[in-house]
Structure 1
Amino acid sequence: MDNEEVKLLLVKYITGEATPQELELVKQWISAHPENEQYFAQLYETWHNMLYLQPKVVNKDNAYDKFNSTLEPETPHRYARLITWGKVAACVALLAVVSVTFYQRYSKNIQSVKQIAVNRGTIKKVVLSDGTIVWLNADSKLNYTADFGKTTRTVYLEGEAFFEIAPGKKEVPFIVNTKNYTVRDIGTKFNLKAYATDQFLETTVVKGEVSVEGNVENNHEMNRIYVKPRQVLRIYYRPKKESYTYSAPDIKNMNEIQVSEVDSAKLAKYDGWKENMLMFEDATLKEIASVLERRYNVSIIITNNELGNIRYSGSFKNVPDIEKVLAIIKGNTAIDYIKNGNVINITKTNDN
């Protein structure tokens, strides 16, 4: 196949327009060389990243322009063995056809994005059409398109989820997109935490393996990192200068990447939430408050930074009332609290 045939087939494959014969040709082409697979992955992920944008705020013209830019032959050296660009006129004509095809498909599919949303104070277990089991933690959202399980197994997560991936074909990988990073499943069970209000992404592999890489379009470019069983990867975001709305940012942790080993007995610290367990190990009161707010649908106010930095270790199983949790923490740390409706004020013991 020449370059024009390849690109048109890739478009039809990604958008679900390919015939069975064309599907087989694409699969053969992808498996023929690692650079073919890399190029396909770039187009595949750009397409699906566009689809998972919020329909209410998406700008279709911007999305069209954005995808156009990914198809421009601006870096031929990167795929030198993949593509030898022909005449300029031919490339321009091909670009126009490819862009229009994607844009038409995009306009149709953006309206078919499905969302599973979980409110604060609740946990939800769902089974996707490919058999994958997903537990969604409180205040989380999972987006996917109507053709999930057919031509794609890509989802978009905001919040926290535990994935138990169903076996699938190699040419339809299971991919979890977050705002800043892309996680590819190479195994079966992993936890992924990517709340918009957190300053980090965290993934914990229970079984199998995952790879994590940054999204270039969000200025989080990062080489692919592989996370193996009983490993935890935490990536601290580097906030943009104009987004510094909080005081005294922790410069030490900006853009820091941490990989640590976890004993099997302590995995519940990362995935125990789906079994109604909360486990904290040397966590600050501020970190604990963030978890409790989501779990119990409350707002917690800590009176000062010194108090927020108090550290605590402990675990709770099937505790339906936040006041019972706070009472246990109070028994081990120098805090007091007042609950007024859904608002909890935490102060130092004996503060007036």
Structure 2
Amino acid sequence: MKIAVVHEQIIEGRPDSEDLLDELAVVTGALRTLGFQYETIALAAGLRQLYELLGRLSMFCPDVVFNLVEGHEAGQRLFPAVAGFFELAGFPLTGSRYDAILTTTNKIISKSMMATAGIPTPAWHIYDGVPLSLPPQCAYIVKPACEDASVGIDDASVFTDCERLLEALPTTFATHRQPLLIEAFIAGREINISIIEHKDGRPEVLPIAEIVFKDWPQGKPEIVNYDAKWLPQSFEYNNTIRRFNPEGISASDVRQTALQCWRLFGLRGYARVDMRVASSGDIYVIEVNANPCISHDSGFMAAAAHADYTETDIIRMIIEASLKK
């Protein structure tokens, strides 16, 4: 079998981008173990680059395109179009298709879809440069609407003072140059649910993971911010501990909610659903991730290992799911 592994250009000095090197190592290592022929292709910005990519794919004639494109120099909002390009060109691709990547990349669209479908998600507002009013009694977290990997999220993203939040919005909006999601902050437990698809189309929910905020200073927001994900020297990175099958939550409700998201967005191959569980036990979906990170130390691969899958098993299953009719 021939696999074309396509990824975006890696940005030096950006840990969330440089992590792609580890993902490439996971995928290509598994392909060698499986005995598959492969070629890696870096995609740069611009329509001309797509023409060149099409030429390389046509010459290589892959059975599957392993889609590791997680961003684009022209803007995070546009990178789902790359999956659509593969589909239009007629190449089977791993993971989710264009429409699922598009709707999950935009937090405003995804939350609107979940609310319509009855999937619990925190209440939210949108800021796009136009002044707005907010209920003052709530705590909020402010996120760029079209970023992932906790880009743009730090402790200062959480507000308990509504007046201070409203004052900060214009500067934050100018910084990120995209709409802002102002989401009710759920003070509770952080839960990650990874899902892998079998070749018969059956999605399997992997062991549920909780992120424990160890020795967290009083008053510090319990969130997985950018530092917690990407900066090994930071307090947040070293004090967010993953544990599996946590007690005190309804595992069946969590699994059912994750599978509802899988069906609603038409996810495929592999995905991760992030939730918060309030002290009342109520579950809220905060984000749905199509094609989540699959580096060696990612939450997805940790959940897979806890289910006794090897990295090679996971890469093989992702490829098999891309070939099903």
Same fold (TM over 0.5): no
Larger relative contact order, structure 1 or 2 (CA cutoff 8 Å, min sep 6): 2
TM-score by length of 2: 0.25
| Pair member with larger Rg | 1
